[in-house]
């Protein structure tokens, strides 16, 4: 858990400045006053580098992954939110939960085009309305998580319960059990 002291080290973006930093469709879906938005340097945007530079554990970093899948003969997309410390069970739990016949990680350019966000900064807030948003149950157990903000140069800090406010949000166990080291 982060102390307020470490929050002071974050370059927090003021609410009235969000439109200058984030895509408009991401800002439109953020619950007002419940999410802290902060700037990060581009070279520390990826989870491992971010965790090391900013002092958040991988278990507090929630990644949003875009999945392309076929169901009932049509191609569909889903945003999967999972902790950086866990492995997604793509061909088991995720496939079963989506009821997908086939699925794959969306190609970088497809994920960017469809979400309207930068690769490496995709967030569940503001994905297209016809996407399903699957949140791994382990995410919901954290007091707070850091996730993408739609751009590589910013992150969101929030209570995972806020994800439940998103349309099409479903919580399920989507990761493999942790193997003791």
Residue 1 confidence (pLDDT): 42
Tell me the per-residue pLDDT of 73-120, one tens digit each, with 9 for 90 and over: 999 999 999 999 999 999 999 999 999 999 999 999 999 999 999 999
User: CA 173, CA 181: separation in Å to the nearest integer?
Assistant: 21
Residues ≥6 apart with Cβ < 8 Å to 55: 2, 6
Tell me the per-residue pLDDT of 82-94, one tens digit each, with 9 for 90 and over: 999 999 999 999 9
The pLDDT-based confidence of 5 (bands split at 50, 70, 90) is: very low
Tokens standing for 44? 């520390």
Residue 153: count of CB within 10 angstroms of its CB: 17
Residue 7 confidence (pLDDT): 63
Residue 62 confidence (pLDDT): 96
Q: Could you tell me if 84 and 63 are in contact, meaning their C-beta atoms sit under 8 angstroms apart?
A: yes
CA-angle at 81, arms to 75 and 83, nearest 5°? 140
Q: Give the pLDDT mean for 4-12.
A: 69
The pLDDT-based confidence of 161 (bands split at 50, 70, 90) is: very high
Which has the minimum average pLDDT: 1-10, 15-24, 30-39, 148-157? 1-10
Does the pLDDT value for residue 4 go beyond 80?
Answer: no
User: CA 67, CA 79: separation in Å to the nearest integer?
Assistant: 6
> What domains sit in the chain, N to C, each tagged with a CATH number?
4-160 (3.90.960.10)
Tell me the per-residue pLDDT of 122-153, one tens digit each, with 9 for 90 and over: 999 999 999 999 999 999 999 999 999 999 99
Stated pTM of the model: 0.91
């Amino acid at each position: 858990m982060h102390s307020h002291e470490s929050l002071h080290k974050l370059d927090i973006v003021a609410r009235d400045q969000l439109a200058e930093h984030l895509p408009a469709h991401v800002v439109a879906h953020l619950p007002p006053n419940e999410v802290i938005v902060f700037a990060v340097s581009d070279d520390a945007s990826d989870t491992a580098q971010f965790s090391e530079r900013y002092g958040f554990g991988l278990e507090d970093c929630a990644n949003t992954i875009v999945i392309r899948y076929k169901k009932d003969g049509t191609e569909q997309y889903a945003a999967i939110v999972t902790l950086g410390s866990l492995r997604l069970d793509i061909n088991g739990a995720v496939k079963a939960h989506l009821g997908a016949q086939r699925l794959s990680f969306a190609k970088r350019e497809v994920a960017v085009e469809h979400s309207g966000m930068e690769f490496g900064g995709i967030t569940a807030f503001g994905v297209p309305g016809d996407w399903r948003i699957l949140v791994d149950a382990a995410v919901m157990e954290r007091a707070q998580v850091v996730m993408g903000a739609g751009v590589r140069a910013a992150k969101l800090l929030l209570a995972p319960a806020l994800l439940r406010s998103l349309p099409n949000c479903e919580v399920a166990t989507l990761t493999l059990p942790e193997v003791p080291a």
